[in-house]
Amino acid sequence: MISTLYFFALLSSAMAWGHVGLWKERSARNETEDGSGDRCACDAFLPGSTFPLRDLVVVEQTAVEIYHKLELELGKLENYETKLTEYSEKIIKLTVEVEKIEKNPDAYNEADKDEIKVKIKQVEALAKELQLSIRSSTTIFRSLRVQVTAMEETLTRLEKTYDKNVVLATRREYIKVQMQLEECERRHQELFNPNIGSCAHTGIIKVGKPVVSHLNAHLNAGYKFGGWGRDSKPVPDRESMYWYSGYTSSSIVDIRFYTNYNSLILRNHFQHHNLHSGWYGTGNNFIIRDNTLYYQINSPFGLAKLNFTTMRYESRVIAKASTRFSYANSPNQNFDFAADETGLWVTYATAESSGRMVIAKINEPSFGVEEEWQTSVFKPGVNNAFMVCGVLYAVRTVDIQTDEIFYKYDTRTRQESYISVPFVRFQEKYSNLDYNPTDQKLYMYNDGYYVNYHLWFNHTTKATVAPPYRRT
């Protein structure tokens, strides 16, 4: 028989960790061991193991340390911005002085030329110093990303095994750190990635690990259909804006806008538009471009756009496009909108093409098709596709954890090829995968979660910067 003191000690322990519900009365009547006497009996279902408080404390301490490091790195980034501005001004002035000397060398003596040489060497030294600082920050961000990932794994393990409410406070600290790290990485990339917006490469060579931001704004894993991301051609003052739309089916019923990444994570939207009667869409390969939603409609079957600045709605029908062919894992994805460095695109399949994907270039002002390209890839065998620098990339499943970019079609050269660029999925299925040229990332809506991937390109002097798209 359990002693009274020990019994209440166990009960107190269970209550402290939220396990009061694990205690239940065996009988509503008194009974003895032989069934006729006077004894109250209870069954006690105690946790199988002690809550690992040490793990939670370590995560909290790590969160504090990382947050302080990120505060320091943000300060460095601000300093980098100032230095970049100063160095740019010095380089411009030096360029002007050198041009003057080249045009009229006889007007300058050797002392003048030596002075210019000294200034050039000074700027070179400053540039090297800044380059070393940038590399140092990059190394720190990679290290912190590893720590943050480990924190996420620990918290997820604790939430699966123990009461989520116990872990909630630490989870908030983790989210705070994650947002700060994302902000640092974003600013670092925007400052020091000269290739953003450039097509001076020969294609994708690597996809980064999945960066999982959060469960959707509805906090509902049942919202498996939808999309999220950034505006591919943001209007002024909305460069940092994010958007999200999700639902339990492939219908598009509303959309939310967030001023920045922090607001997205905190689910604090500044605009919420319901696509009321007449504006409903379907499929999940919609995008936001120039503060305009481009998406698929079924009545009539075709393309639609809704400008959120003017609230003007337009639709177009592509007669050859078929409702029979969708992506492998998602229904009703007959039209797939995409945006890249060269403009706006849409892909679909036709009965005439026997289900093979067709690429179409969209004229944004007129919302008409400018030109089409026929590919040889069968759409129902593809999970999703996206455009980068006028090149279509198609994705398929490799195994339960891996997808791969397996096919590309270059609209400039009309050449297609099979490639293999694997990447890891966070969850089993995804309904939306789009490239954004403003940060060169892939945005995936993965079974209700916001996920993104960094892309690496094969930069080469043989490739040229893609000019604005021109019909040929």
> What are the φ/ψ torsions at residue 370 (nearest 5 degrees)?
-90, -45
Q: Nearest-CA neighbor of 375 among 396, 400, 350, 398?
A: 350
- Tell me which H or E stretch contains 59: helix 53-103
Low-confidence ranges of the chain (pLDDT < 50): 1-37, 41-48, 461-472
340 and 390 Cβ atoms separated by less than 8 Å:
yes
Q: What's the number of CA atoms in the CB half-sphere (13 Å) around residue 396?
A: 13
Q: How far is the C-alpha of 192 from the C-alpha of 184, rounded, in Å?
A: 12
pLDDT at 16: 37
pLDDT at 65: 78
Please classify residue 174 by burial: count the beta carbons closer than 10 Å to its beta carbon, then call 0-12 exposed, 13-18 middle and 19+ buried.
buried
Q: Nearest-CA neighbor of 315 among 339, 295, 331?
A: 295
421 and 206 Cβ atoms separated by less than 8 Å:
yes
Query: How many other C-beta atoms can be found within 10 angstroms of the C-beta atom of residue 320?
Result: 12
pLDDT single digits (tens) 317-362: 999 999 999 999 888 899 999 999 999 999 999 999 999 999 999 9
What global pTM score does this model have? 0.64
**CATH 2.120.10 spans which residues of the chain?**
201-459
What's the token pair of residue 43? Answer: 């069954």
What count of residues does the chain have? 472
Q: According to CATH, what is the number of the domain 201-459? A: 2.120.10
